[in-house]
Amino acid sequence: MSLITKTFKYLFYAYLASTYKSLPGAYYIRFWFYAIRNIVLPIFTGKQTANIKKLQSDKYGVFKHNVLSTYCSFFEIDGYLHKSNSTYFEELDIARTDLMTKVFQKLFLTSKKWPYIPVAEVSTCFFKDIRPLQPYQVISNIFCWDKKWIYVLSKFTVNNGSTVVSLSITRYVLKDGRKTIRPADALQVCGIYNDEVEQISSENLAYMEANGGFENIQKLIEQNKEYGSL
């Protein structure tokens, strides 16, 4: 095998490695990695996890944020040579799975049935692009809830979290079979519900309803700085 052939072969391998997120089956591996780590392994290693203790020890634990750090691979690029808008939603899936299985870890581990949290709606606003191979972070946290829905705020950021390039709000519902679980009830089961977080949620809900369509995003950009990370 000639030197040129070997060079192209290794360059091709490097190219595949750099685009691992888009390889067949990669999505499922990434998704189930967090689900298994957060709600399956603790069944065998101990249900009173360090994560549960951390959340319960902080009265604002429900608002703690989760950070997914990754980069824009070549297979995520569109015709404009930046991260395709459609690929944002795959990263949202991964980031939100880690967040929700941590925040509601105790609910999953103590329920007689296996609850699940389906997505009902996602609203996204794009501000700036993400370039090929550019590192970025997806910072997600619960923003508010009402009697039925839970709203998760996710921010795509670059420059180590200092620049927000996209915002998404995801509407979730908690289900136990066909039965809907009220968010406040689920948070009480998890030991992270109190009057103060309910008040913050009510204020955030009112803000979101008054600023539908991301007309006023400053509060969304600043959200979760003070509550810490998971």
Token code pair at residue 167: 């915002």
Strand residue runs (E) in 48-117: 66-71
In the structure encoding, which two tokens stand for residue 178, read together? 């066909």
Q: Please write the tens of the pLDDT for every residue from 160-181.
A: 888 999 999 999 999 988 899 9
Cα gap 224→230, rounded to integer Å: 11
Phi-psi region of 57 (alpha: psi -120 to 50; beta: other; left: phi over 0): alpha
pLDDT average, residue stretch 175-197: 95
Out of 106-115, 178-187, 195-204, pick the least confident: 106-115
Q: In terms of Cα–Cα distance, which of 87, 101, 80, 95 is closest to 190?
A: 101
Specify burial of residue 222 (Cβ count, 10 A radius: 0-12, 13-18, 19+).
Answer: exposed
Contact call for residues 135 and 75 (beta carbons, < 8 A): no
Q: What is the pLDDT of residue 16?
A: 65
Work out the pLDDT band at 8, boundaries 50, 70, 90: low
For the chain, which domains are there? 2-223 (3.10.129.10)
Which class for 55: exposed (0-12), middle (13-18), buried (19 or more C-beta within 10 A)? buried
